[in-house]
Amino acid sequence: MITTLVVDDDPRVAAIHAEFVSKVEGFTVVGMAYSAAEAYDAVLAAQPDLLLLDLYLPDEHGLALLGRLRELDGPHPDAIIITASRDVESLRGAMQRGAVHYVVKPFRFAQLAERLAGYRTVRESLTGMRETSQAEIDKVYELLHLSTPALPPRGANVPTMTRILEAVQAAEQSPTAADISRDVGVSRPTAQRYLAQLVAMGLLDLELQYGAAGRPSHRYRARSR
């Protein structure tokens, strides 16, 4: 099993991501950390194979933490960056520090699962291997360089969109825009706008619920596959 540590400053988000990881064959979550200090101590204690690492931590930037972990003696955990940051400097910094993937929030389960599956296949391919051919090397990189997740539209407030997506993912039943407006603390028109954008990005499904009379109720469901 590939042991995974989930690092995010929001415990609710960390729990959602941990649930995502647990659904993928071959992975097990060994802990969750909500700050860089907690993550560093957890890496020393649990020695996970992989980090799901948010960049915006309360006490240290995620890339700075990743750099410190790279200085430890012995094997270092690999990292998949999970972030709302789309700036080139963050992407370049992640690449320089050896992150195997960079996943932009908000995303759906299938996108993360695809990257985890590719990472798992790469680890299995490299196990016990001493020498390799150029063709095999090319195949490894093909497995890592998968399709890019759909990006939020320009002008979108990514943190707000992410909170709305996570609210839908955490809901026990498919919520309406009014439900999301109340849970997230935004106006109903704002909730409706971002919910429509998430549907267009393929991250949510729209369901029409018909009652005894009147217009159908619009409800939203996270697209898990």
**List of domains in the chain:** 2-144 (3.40.50.2300), 158-222 (1.10.10.10)
pLDDT tens digits along 153-168: 666 777 888 889 889 9
Dist CA 221 CA 217 (whole Å): 13
208 phi and psi angles, rounded to 5 deg: -100, 120
What's the count of helices (H) and strands (E) in the chain, helices before strands? 9, 7
User: In percent, how much of the chain has pLDDT > 90?
Assistant: 41
pLDDT tens digits along 30-52: 999 999 999 999 999 999 999 99
Per-range mean pLDDT, top range of 10-19, 66-75, 156-165, 206-215? 10-19
Task: Report whether 30 contacts 7 (CB < 8 A).
Answer: no
> Helix, strand or coil for residue 85?
coil
pLDDT tens digits along 132-188: 666 655 655 555 554 444 556 666 777 888 889 889 988 888 999 999 999 999 999
Dist CA 46 CA 7 (whole Å): 13
**Which residues, other chains included, contact 101 with Cβ-Cβ below 8 Å and sequence gap of 6+?**
80, 81, 115, 119, 144, 146
